[in-house]
Chain A
């Protein structure tokens, strides 16, 4: 008999065959600082070693300690870039964790509950839930003198439930704490083994199930590929760096701060600079000052900060300054819900600032695209000498396992940046020379013979202020031509699903992978859909309009309250009567099941 078993209540499992499982979602939740993220990190590493695909999403209040925090990990045989409908295993460090996540538990789900802060609030979970109650925190303090180790203890129980071997669990701890001395890793290992012991003493697992490599689930062992696990924010910052990005200025704001932190750690080794401004106006203008001197520059923010930057974005468009701006969209309006996701800045990104000016809005839908567009935005900003936005949504914070980036594939485009030799050969140099493609050669301060004037006022080719009507029209037209000239480089929509379907579904960013799963399930119900995810939001490209034309009806799925993407597409010329919106704006993840239901409802109502 295990010495802790008296403390442990349990519900006996009905039959003893482990559940073969190709797709399993684990959520850990508790107060910030409870270690929810650590448990998920430990589990992720172990499952990745088995060749499973991983998707992880954290839902953390903006404070470091305190506030409810949850981390979710989905692991699957096939790539899944979103959370599924259900939570299979919930590791809860308090009652609030149950209250918030109970609704996602399926009939067969397992709850591992830390009773240290009070009894499990049963009314929030299905009757059939299998419950493992263990006072992690109390045991951790009692046995290891620190509350801190309860995360490894919880991981031990979780490992047993999920059928991981002892070696897999140990390896994960060793990997997670590889920077610690052997002495300091020890209590973590002890905590893990305590977890094993609890599980063994627990009636929910039979003696056999409670052994290494057994458990309630049977997860596959797959062939391992060369994968990385990365978030949209990190991938975007990495793309910028790989494209030669060297100057970043920002101002802290959730969820864009990751980008500043990432670059702050890495840019100096590349001769770059990261600086935190006194506000977003300073941030974007510092980046402009650097961009004008020839540095490849970027800033990043979220809704409120991007709103403050608007004057400067239009200025870059007018003055022809290359700049990359990342918008990690969050739920607005105003301060809104800082830690919740939305896709709600499209009006500002496409039509913000005063006047008409050339700019581009890219919309990645996976970390690979975040990296690619980090490169592309940097290159395009140079090629077209204009501001280029990267519109991120929840995917900025999600982490995914994907094939490792091919760094050898990265090309650097300097556009019409002049070398000193080219400049010396020119008989005259005009910063705003009118050219066929609208793009003027670019000399930067320090280059002999390249002296020029840059301004946001309308100006003549020399850069001298001018309100001459003929010049004005020529200059507006020249700037507009730049976008035409780089249009072939803009990513067209990603198309998938059933080519012959009459029903089309359009979405952007993080919803792409939700739609993939939803469309597979719809196909099982004999509802065929064709899917389209535009990857350039400004300008809206012809293929998106064409897609709407080809379908009988089109649902535009997006996370905002007014159908911003639908409005954009209609505005670009898509037949408005074919388009209907499916909207979610409660700040929660969109689940494939709810999207299936929404589409089914619309189809039924026809």
Chain B
């Protein structure tokens, strides 16, 4: 047996919501019996961007905001991997917001976990895009990723959990992994994950979070009613959680990757397998 790195210890402040997220991920990886060597966890930059160190899998610490395009590249290059992208709300919804929209549009089969704490933890507490009434622009409303996700036609899995509700979170994490691993597309799981040091919202969010299942005739397969219900819940001061939407839509890799031909991640030593095709290209240039 080859010895590999010893998984790191979390570096978060005690009580940080991110512990709950890591716990749920660990739970789900174990519950689904996913081997560490087939798992690639890619993280953003932030306090949230350290989870990849702690679980013994392949891990990659991307640049701030770039976790989604990187994870997309990984998923395309080797669709057999379980690809998990994880980052903060600043990482995903501010500097990485452009990628966020396009990843939902493309629908690659991977899990994207966003740890939403309404703040930039690592840089010491500046307001993040999800904060209502940030300091510099008090009139600004916080960004809601579920609402955005619902508005994108090709989104296929939108869920929200809360670090303070591990039972629900564990189950959402399992479902998200199942969605991506069965090749159904991007599983977005936003976790309300309080920053106890700069924005301690535990009590507030404990009171506000409410599973959409509790709403009359909620249909998580129907974007229109999901949208309407979530707006109404927000208007009455609630944060909708649970499976906000789960449906079917063709994935990025289904259109782009030919599983029979794709050996991209395999070690290829020479062109013996494709000499004829290369010759044909050269022929096209003969004059």
Interface residue ranges, A against B (CB under 8 Å): 44-45, 48, 54, 226-230, 234, 238, 241-242, 244, 246-247, 249, 266, 268-273, 275, 277-279, 281-283, 285-297, 311-312, 315, 319, 401, 404-405, 407, 410-412, 414, 417, 419, 423-424, 426-431, 444-457, 462-465
Is B53 a contact partner of A453 (Cβ separation < 8 A)? Answer: yes
Q: Does B269 interact with chain A (Cβ within 8 Å)?
A: yes
Q: Does B256 interact with chain A (Cβ within 8 Å)?
A: yes
Q: How far is the CB of A456 from chain B (nearest CB, A)?
A: 7
Chain B, residues 65-93, CB within 8 Å of chain A (1/0): the string is 11001111111111011000000000000
What would 12 more interface pairs be, CB under 8 Å, given A294-B264, A454-B61, A464-B8?
A228-B287, A244-B271, A266-B281, A273-B76, A278-B99, A285-B62, A295-B78, A412-B269, A451-B57, A462-B4, A463-B59, A465-B61
Is B286 a contact partner of A293 (Cβ separation < 8 A)? Answer: no
Cross-interface CB contact of A247 among B61, B73, B275, cutoff 8 Å: B73
Is A285 a contact partner of B265 (Cβ separation < 8 A)? Answer: no
Contacts A226-B286, A241-B278, A288-B73 hold; do A294 and B2 have CB atoms under 8 A apart? no
Complexed CA–CA distance, A246 and B263 (Å): 9
> Which residue on B lies nearest to A246, using beta carbons?
B264
Q: Does B139 interact with chain A (Cβ within 8 Å)?
A: no
Complexed CA–CA distance, A286 and B266 (Å): 18
Is B287 a contact partner of A462 (Cβ separation < 8 A)? Answer: no
Contacts A312-B63, A429-B4, A451-B36 hold; do A271 and B263 have CB atoms under 8 A apart? yes
Residues of B within 8 A of A246 (CB): 264
Contacts A269-B277, A273-B77, A445-B74 hold; do A450 and B2 have CB atoms under 8 A apart? yes
* 20 A-B contacts (beta carbon < 8 Å): A238-B281, A244-B271, A249-B69, A268-B258, A285-B73, A289-B60, A290-B74, A293-B264, A295-B265, A404-B286, A407-B278, A423-B2, A427-B2, A446-B265, A447-B37, A448-B35, A450-B58, A457-B61, A463-B59, A464-B5
Is B2 a contact partner of A282 (Cβ separation < 8 A)? Answer: no
* Secondary structure type dominating chain A contacts: mixed
> Which residue on B lies nearest to A229, using beta carbons?
B287
Pick the 9 closest A-B CB pairs, nearest first: A289-B73, A271-B261, A294-B265, A449-B2, A455-B61, A228-B285, A289-B70, A286-B73, A290-B77
Residues of B within 8 A of A234 (CB): 285
Is B77 a contact partner of A270 (Cβ separation < 8 A)? Answer: no
Complexed CA–CA distance, A457 and B58 (Å): 16
Q: How far is the CB of A310 from chain B (nearest CB, A)?
A: 11
8 A Cβ contacts from B1-44 to A: 1-6, 8, 35-40, 42
8 A Cβ contacts from B228-287 to A: 256-258, 260-271, 274-275, 277-279, 281-282, 285-287
Q: How far is the CB of A37 from chain B (nearest CB, A)?
A: 16
Cross-interface CB contact of A297 among B56, B73, B278, B285, cutoff 8 Å: B73
Q: How far is the CB of B184 from chain A (nearest CB, A)?
A: 20
> Which residue on A lies nearest to B63, using beta carbons?
A315
Complexed CA–CA distance, A429 and B56 (Å): 13
Q: How far is the CB of A128 from chain B (nearest CB, A)?
A: 34
Is A285 a contact partner of B70 (Cβ separation < 8 A)? Answer: yes
Residues of B within 8 A of A312 (CB): 63, 66
Residues of B within 8 A of A286 (CB): 69-70, 72-73, 76
Q: How far is the CB of A368 from chain B (nearest CB, A)?
A: 12
Complexed CA–CA distance, A35 and B265 (Å): 44
Residues of B within 8 A of A319 (CB): 61
Complexed CA–CA distance, A427 and B76 (Å): 31
Q: How far is the CB of A410 from chain B (nearest CB, A)?
A: 6
Cross-interface CB contact of A244 among B70, B99, B258, B268, cutoff 8 Å: B268
Q: Does B98 interact with chain A (Cβ within 8 Å)?
A: yes
Contacts A227-B287, A285-B73 hold; do A446 and B80 have CB atoms under 8 A apart? yes
Residues of B within 8 A of A449 (CB): 1-2, 4, 37
Residues of A within 8 A of B102 (CB): 277-278, 282
Is A275 a contact partner of B76 (Cβ separation < 8 A)? Answer: yes
Q: Does B128 interact with chain A (Cβ within 8 Å)?
A: no
Chain B, residues 177-194, CB within 8 Å of chain A (1/0): the string is 000000000000000000
Residues of B within 8 A of A417 (CB): 267
> Which residue on A lies nearest to B279, using beta carbons?
A407
Is B282 a contact partner of A454 (Cβ separation < 8 A)? Answer: no
Residues of B within 8 A of A452 (CB): 4-5, 58-59
Is B286 a contact partner of A292 (Cβ separation < 8 A)? Answer: no
Is B70 a contact partner of A451 (Cβ separation < 8 A)? Answer: no
Q: Does B52 interact with chain A (Cβ within 8 Å)?
A: yes
Is A429 a contact partner of B2 (Cβ separation < 8 A)? Answer: yes
Complexed CA–CA distance, A272 and B256 (Å): 9
Q: How far is the CB of A169 from chain B (nearest CB, A)?
A: 16
Residues of A within 8 A of B256 (CB): 268, 273, 275
Complexed CA–CA distance, A414 and B8 (Å): 30
> Which residue on A lies nearest to B106, using beta carbons?
A275
Contacts A228-B282, A312-B63 hold; do A272 and B99 have CB atoms under 8 A apart? no
Q: How far is the CB of B177 from chain A (nearest CB, A)?
A: 16
> Which residue on B lies nearest to A234, using beta carbons?
B285
Q: How far is the CB of B231 from chain A (nearest CB, A)?
A: 27
> Which residue on B lies nearest to A242, using beta carbons?
B278
Chain B, residues 205-218, CB within 8 Å of chain A (1/0): the string is 00000000000000
Contacts A282-B99, A451-B4 hold; do A289 and B286 have CB atoms under 8 A apart? no
Complexed CA–CA distance, A133 and B212 (Å): 78
Is A426 a contact partner of B63 (Cβ separation < 8 A)? Answer: no
> Which residue on A lies nearest to B2, using beta carbons?
A449
Complexed CA–CA distance, A46 and B184 (Å): 54
Q: Which of A230, A290, A312, A428 has the most CB of B within 10 A?
A: A290
Cross-interface CB contact of A453 among B61, B75, B98, cutoff 8 Å: B61
Complexed CA–CA distance, A426 and B1 (Å): 8
Q: How far is the CB of A507 from chain B (nearest CB, A)?
A: 27
Q: How far is the CB of A81 from chain B (nearest CB, A)?
A: 16
> Which residue on A lies nearest to B96, using beta carbons?
A281
Complexed CA–CA distance, A387 and B198 (Å): 38
Complexed CA–CA distance, A457 and B49 (Å): 12
Is B59 a contact partner of A453 (Cβ separation < 8 A)? Answer: yes
Complexed CA–CA distance, A271 and B78 (Å): 11
Is B287 a contact partner of A294 (Cβ separation < 8 A)? Answer: no
Complexed CA–CA distance, A572 and B39 (Å): 45
Complexed CA–CA distance, A176 and B73 (Å): 38
Is B286 a contact partner of A446 (Cβ separation < 8 A)? Answer: no
Q: Which of B35, B42, B287 has the most CB of A within 10 A?
A: B287
Residues of B within 8 A of A465 (CB): 53, 61
Q: How far is the CB of B205 from chain A (nearest CB, A)?
A: 30
Cross-interface CB contact of A278 among B98, B266, B268, B281, cutoff 8 Å: B98
Is B267 a contact partner of A446 (Cβ separation < 8 A)? Answer: no
Contacts A289-B77, A293-B81, A452-B58 hold; do A445 and B37 have CB atoms under 8 A apart? yes
Cross-interface CB contact of B37 among A285, A293, A426, A446, cutoff 8 Å: A446
Q: How far is the CB of A526 from chain B (nearest CB, A)?
A: 38
Residues of A within 8 A of B265 (CB): 293-295, 444-446
Complexed CA–CA distance, A397 and B98 (Å): 31
